[in-house]
Structure 1
Amino acid sequence: MDSERFVERLPEVIGRIYDCALDPGLWSETLAEIRGSLDFAHAALTLQALPHGGVLLNVASGIEGPWLRRLTNYGPEIVALWGGPANIAAAPLEEPVLLSEMNPSAVDGSGDTNRFHDEWHKPQGVIDLAAVGLARDAQSLATLSFARHERHGPIGAQERESLHRLAPHMRRAITISRLLDARAVAAATFEGVIEATHTPVLVIDGQLRVLYANGPALALLDRRDPLRIAQGRLATSLPQATQSLAMAVARGAIGDADLGRGGMAIPLRGADGVARALHVLPLRGGTLRAGLVSEAAAAIFVSSAGPPPAGAGDLVGQLFALSAKEAEVFQLIARGLTPGEAAAEMGIAVATVRTHLLRIYDKTGTRRQADLVRMAASLSLSPG
């Protein structure tokens, strides 16, 4: 694998991933490029609607027809290969996991025999799998998986890091794709896509000025809850959500790759008690995304959401895309603990807590621990 070349091309690949959100027909070519660049033999992307299990998206790359047709015979065996449903459910979203680490006996042959491994993997020379969970909620289940052939040796740190960097963009593209119905994705232009969908969509510039809104979005703005125009700019019912949105749009305006995990499922809750989420799609790159207004920086998709976060720590984690450890550090610092006390409670080094704090400051736009305490207090008192 030419890792340096792939890293250089990462922004271009991420741009194509976002185009796939609006045109699912591009997934096959995009998946093949990622697979080939990272020296994987096979790749598969699946999106299922829950609870009925209907397949919304099923894209495979590198799998020959006869082998692909046989895959449907191994549903229970594939689940067992990964250690069972509980093991799969415990895997964090957006984090690449390896079969050789998650269930080593399935790869080294020390455990129970598995029909899928014996009849499908071994004959094709597959020695390991990498999988990334992209969605796992009441509405859908989405997974991205890659198979490694023995000729390329074990899956290394570089491949894993590349998948880690791609994962949030894949997840955002899949999430937005779920919000668009068949009429919308059949449109030839981005304007046609957002005008055809029943999902509220707003196009904004880098200063959060609304340049375009489809019918459902205009209806939300007319109600002024949970979205409204304030001083000419898009605002939400929660100031911290507006801040999170502004930061995500600013990063996305730099380039698709710079958005990272920000701007994904920003939580909102209006006076009507309905939980919603904002999803940011950068508009600077791509082909289908171009052609609306030259000043357009991002499209904001408004979706329904699950139960709201239980506490201020969980809410900040969603608003500013904190990792699990960063969210835990935030909660402890917000309770008034010092970095040393937080380190003792978490069982980690003080230096590690301070590193997490620096990342929290960067993601939340704060500078001091006192700012985090005030943020937690304001969120705890916020009506939604």
Structure 2
Amino acid sequence: MDDRKQLSSLIGDIYDAVFDPDLRTDVLDRIAGFTGGHSGSLLLKHSLSDSENLYCYIGNAPGTLQAYSESYPKLDSTADPGSVGVDQIVSAVDLVPYDEFRRGRFYREWAQPHGWGDIASAVIERSATSCTFLSVARQETSGLVDDQMRHRMALVIPHVRRALLIGKTIHHKEAEAICFTDVFDGLSAGMVLVDASGRIVHANSVGGALLEAADFLRKGACGRLVAGDAATNAALRDILVAASAGDTVLGVKGTALPLTAHNGERYIAHVLPLTSGARRGVGLGYNAVAALFVRKAALESSPAEVIGEMYKLTPAELRVLLAIVDIGGVPEVAASLGVAATTVKTHLSRLFEKTGVGRQADLVKLVAGFSTPLAN
């Protein structure tokens, strides 16, 4: 293979290695071979600590690799890029007199036992706190780093840098998606993202469980979201078509869709359009046009201790408040708690005073406002 074909093939493999980590050591090996070296490394140094993150090093056994990453970067004069400019290709001779390099511990304990006579290094990228550089070791029998080796490294370095940048971008996006997924999976409501045709793009853990149950919502043919009865399903289709046309059609706040399970339990699906630019920016799938948030049409449990602390309620007052929410009127609460109705009325009067509301219905709304959106 001539040099042009060899370089073209190598460049393709450099970018392929972004997506397949198993290719990375082989790519570094090929970089070393193309430039006239013996083995290559990609090293990240942190200026704020003594640690080095060795991306990969080839031509050596795992044991010696660990020894290098733990000890020798601190001794390796060629691994000190502080004074080296980006893209500048330097050898050991450029950084330290060669006789001094050969007398050092790094050469005697690492380079010489591995047959290295010189090392060509270049800074790939630099930040305020870190520096990433590519190094290619040259066998002692091949002589010192020469102009041809520098030239060939110069052909490769821009692609290594671009591949690193692509890899970081992909990693950032993956981390961002994982973060959103974790947040969505923590919701008590089921969430399902769908496209204009009703195809399910993503579902959080609660939403996935609802679909798996295949009761009032299920995953139908071609992965489409299907409601339990025909009328509700037709309404869902109309809502999704409207969502795909934009927020102005469906409304920025979306709409609600009532759902009924086979056992008679009531659910509500709030449909939020995702077709505005801002909402698309945080969507897990850019082809999603709407998000359905599905929850049971019932008062969710609220953190009683938080309510009690906020309104300075006594334990007795808090018990009465929660009983009013769960049970109903004064006679029923009195019977449930085993106290006189007058006692309940006294606590109720104090609840009105401390919370600033004047009706039992308002107390129910107040408690509902404390319900957690997070799954238990």
Report the TM range for the smaller structure's normalisation. 0.3 to 0.5
TM norm structure 2: 0.42
Greater relative contact order, per chain length (Cα 8 Å cut-off, separation 6+) = 1
Query: Structure 1 length as normaliser, TM-score?
Result: 0.42
